[in-house]
Amino acid sequence: MGNLRKHRYPTGGRGKIETIAQRTLKQPINCSGVALHSGLDIKMTLRPGEADSGILFRRTDIAGGGAFIPARWDQVTDTRMCSTLGNEDGVTIGTVEHLMAALAGMEIDNAVIEINGPEVPIMDGSAAPFVFLIECAGVVTQDRPWRVIRILKPISVDDGDRYASLAPGNGFSVSFDIDFDSAAVSRQRISVELGNGTFKRELARARTFGFLHEVEELRAAGLARGGSLDNAVVVSGDKVLNEGGLRYDDEFVRHKALDAIGDLFLAGAPLRGHFYGQRSGHGTNNALLRALFADAEAWSYDEMLSDEIEASVDLGIWTDDRARTAAIPATA
């Protein structure tokens, strides 16, 4: 990816700087579950990844040692009801957004996701099980600088009904608006700044949701075959059918924000800026990334320094867990 910009010291700065390190999993960890749309039973393993490799999916059920698919915006082949990635051989992996959101929220830069089917298991419909897996596996720093994609100017996409934008900002923040006819959902809005465990506390447990009257139509299209009240919030008319009700009063918009975080992590690195979505879905989120990378003046690929993060924390504008991780010494 182009536009690499390294931060420089101000005149009179120190002769040595601290560059924040990339992170990966400490050890492999396994899980299994049903796939939301295909209904298949899936086994998945999260493994440590090499520095600078990003997030990489590997289909272990494909002959010849498996098939690899980078988790990137330009590998997205379908956005109906989920984000699906594909490679040049036509091998796909679907429903990646919840896992990608967990990896982004837990600040995992590099990982290999081995999976024996065409879809990430839905688990309970949220990102919380994946957060738990990452915590169980543990996290280690790597001997390479942490890179982020900094938004340099506003970019937006608008199809009349759905809107999404990215704008410059410190850290990474997300705002989202939804509006549904059902009184169970209605109008909801959320605005959160990611960092210091915000993703785990505020968003990770928010589940995917759907409407009962749409189920037959989705299944006729080959979707939602593994969906149930165990892995989705189901709304019928103005009522939530799940026995335990909602996990948050505004669980619906929190999940839309979670989806956006997962979709945006397909940028290939963490974003530094502000995202706003209005009824935005997977297709709009991907279109936004395509618009961003089509404009070379809208972004830069930066290596982050510990003193920049610490200064931002002092100003109250950036509270990132990386401020407390091990750093890589680097010469100016």
Residues annotated as part of the active site: 282
Q: How far apart are CA 173 and CA 171, in angstroms?
A: 7
Say if residue 168 is exposed, middle or buried (CB neighbours under 10 Å; 0-12, 13-18, 19+). Answer: middle
Q: How far apart are CA 300 and CA 145, in angstroms?
A: 15
Q: How far apart are CA 268 and CA 148, in angstroms?
A: 9
Q: In the structure encoding, which two tokens stand for residue 133, read together?
A: 């897996």
Helix axes 251-264, 282-293, angle to 10 degrees: 40
| Cβ atoms 304, 19 nearer than 8 A | yes
Q: In the structure encoding, which two tokens stand for residue 50, read together?
A: 């090499």
